[in-house]
């Protein structure tokens, strides 16, 4: 039974190893090509913006590569038996890491050979990140930076408003009308 269950871990380890190898080759060849073409051959066209963009891109590619290799790491027992083949790199946050890698490679290749306008290809990445992070950032600012040093009230939805109005109605004194 253990042998059969371990087959999926072995297969996942093999898939992850191949994916990391392909990623390493892609990143190394792209970065070397960019540096050789842009920084060596066309060094006279460089500006501070090129250095900043390249630094940002290299840093984001390195961070994504590190995160992917960390997720792909296998776990072994003290006897050397494979316990876990690592995480599936095609699910979860790893998908976003791959997206950032592909956009970064695209930006490096297009800005090296075609036009500097391709730096704008990062804008959708920043927009999507802002879209995903906005709820947490908004709650953080509402909670900790409310006016007057008090905590900001939570946004009231329709159900909460109806409940509040019903409770307020119950607290009001009832006027009884009688006929005399």
Read off the pLDDT of residues 19-68 as tens digits, 9 standing for 90 and up. 999 999 999 999 999 888 888 887 777 788 888 888 999 999 999 999 99
pTM of the model: 0.67
Is the backbone of residue 17 left (phi > 0), alpha (psi -120 to 50) or beta? alpha
Give SS3 for 10.
Answer: helix
Q: 62-113: per-residue pLDDT in tens?
A: 999 999 999 888 888 888 788 777 888 888 888 889 999 999 999 999 988 8
d(CA 65, CA 21): 11
Cβ-proximal residues to 171 (8 Å cutoff; 6+ apart), any chain:
none
H-helix or E-strand containing 84? Answer: strand 82-84
The angle at the Cα of 31, spanning 30 to 36, to the nearest 5 degrees, equals 100
Question: For residue 1, what pLDDT is reported?
Answer: 45
Is the backbone of residue 133 left (phi > 0), alpha (psi -120 to 50) or beta? alpha
**Res 149 pLDDT > 60:** no
Q: How many Å from the N-terminal Cα to the C-terminal Cα in the chain?
A: 89
Question: For residue 64, what pLDDT is reported?
Answer: 92
Asked if 154 contacts 138 with a C-beta cutoff of 8 angstroms, the reply is no
Helix axes 93-113, 123-144, angle to 10 degrees: 130
Cβ-proximal residues to 116 (8 Å cutoff; 6+ apart), any chain:
49, 50
């Amino acid at each position: 039974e253990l042998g059969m269950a371990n087959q999926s871990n072995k297969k996942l380890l093999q898939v992850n190893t191949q994916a990391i190898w392909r990623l390493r080759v892609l990143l190394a060849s792209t970065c070397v090509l960019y540096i050789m073409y842009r920084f060596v051959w066309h060094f006279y066209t460089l500006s501070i913006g090129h250095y900043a963009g390249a630094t940002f891109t290299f840093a984001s590619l390195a961070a994504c590569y590190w995160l992917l290799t960390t997720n792909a790491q296998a776990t072994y027992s003290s006897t050397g038996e494979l316990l876990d083949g690592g995480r599936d790199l095609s699910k979860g946050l790893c998908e976003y890491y791959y997206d950032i890698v592909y956009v970064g490679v695209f930006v490096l290749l297009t800005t090296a050979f075609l036009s500097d306008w391709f730096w704008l290809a990062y804008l959708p990445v920043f927009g999507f990140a802002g879209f995903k992070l906005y709820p947490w950032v908004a709650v953080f600012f509402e909670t900790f930076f409310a006016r007057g040093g008090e905590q900001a009230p939570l946004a009231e939805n329709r159900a909460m408003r109806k409940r509040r109005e019903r409770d307020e109605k119950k607290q009001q004194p009832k006027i009884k009308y009688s006929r005399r």
